Amino acid sequence: MSFDDWVLALHVLSAFSWVAGVVLFWVLVVAVRKTDTAEETLRMEPMTRIGNVAVGLGMGGTILFGLWLAFSVGGYNIWDGWIVAALVLWVISAPLGQRTGAAYMQGTTKARELRHAGQTGANAELLALNRTSTGLVMQSLWSLVVLLILLDMIWKPGA
């Protein structure tokens, strides 16, 4: 196995980590829609951290190893249309992921306030925040962009 083969494997593993993180966040998006207490909302936090690590490693790994491959592997150039498209989509995906996180953090922040105030029962405002439509739209757009990157990587249009 050549060094580039190893880098390609790490690139693909990073992509898996990224998408696995996105899938995990979908599980949380569905789970949190029925969550109306502070305690249960805050219990989601460790899973959110796992998702953040998976997405962080995935996004970092795909761009680092992907750039290496673009420069190192013969036949590929950084200005190839499909590579430029992937880079643009990668850049677009970052703020979408951040906005998704910010939308769902409002529920977490509210849950902290409720716990601090000693309110442990069901709370309609918390439920509404956990069902954020902005977060759902951002998560959907983010997933779509990640899917487009996968399609681009497999079809390599113009290669």
Partner 1 sequence: MSIVAASRPGSWDFPLFVHVLGAMILVGGLLAAAGALGYARGDARFLRLGYWSLLAVSLPGWVVMRGGAEWIRSKEGWNDLPEGVSQPSWLDIGSVLADLGGLILLVSLVAGGVGVRQLRDGKGGGLLRATLVLSIVLLAAYVVAVWAMAAKPG
Pair of tokens at residue 79:
């200005």
Decide: is 12 part of the binding site for partner 1 (CB under 8 A): yes
Using CB under 8 A, which of 19, 29, 85, 129 touches partner 1? 19
Decide: is 144 part of the binding site for partner 1 (CB under 8 A): no
**Least distance (Å) between residue 149 CB and partner 1:** 12
**Least distance (Å) between residue 153 CB and partner 1:** 9
Residues 6+ apart with CB under 8 A from 43: none
Q: What is the CA radius of gyration of the chain?
A: 19
**Least distance (Å) between residue 99 CB and partner 1:** 20
Distance of CA 93 to the CA centre of its chain: 8
Decide: is 21 part of the binding site for partner 1 (CB under 8 A): yes
Mark the segment that binds partner 1 (CB under 8 A) among 40-48, 88-96, 102-110, 111-119.
40-48
Report the first-to-last Cα separation within the chain, whole angstroms. Answer: 24
Q: Which is nearer to partner 1, 40 or 113 (CB)?
A: 40
Cβ contact 61:10 at 8 Å: yes
Residues 6+ apart with CB under 8 A from 127: 35, 36
**Least distance (Å) between residue 145 CB and partner 1:** 15
**Least distance (Å) between residue 91 CB and partner 1:** 21
Round to whole Å and give the CA distance between 43 and 8.
36
Using CB under 8 A, which of 33, 60, 71, 73 touches partner 1? 73
Round to whole Å and give the CA distance between 105 and 138.
13
Round to whole Å and give the CA distance between 159 and 91.
21
User: In the complex, which residues of this chain contact partner 1 (CB under 8 A)?
Assistant: 1, 4-6, 8-9, 11-13, 15-16, 19-24, 26-28, 31, 40, 43, 46-47, 50-51, 54, 69, 73-76, 150-151, 154-156, 159
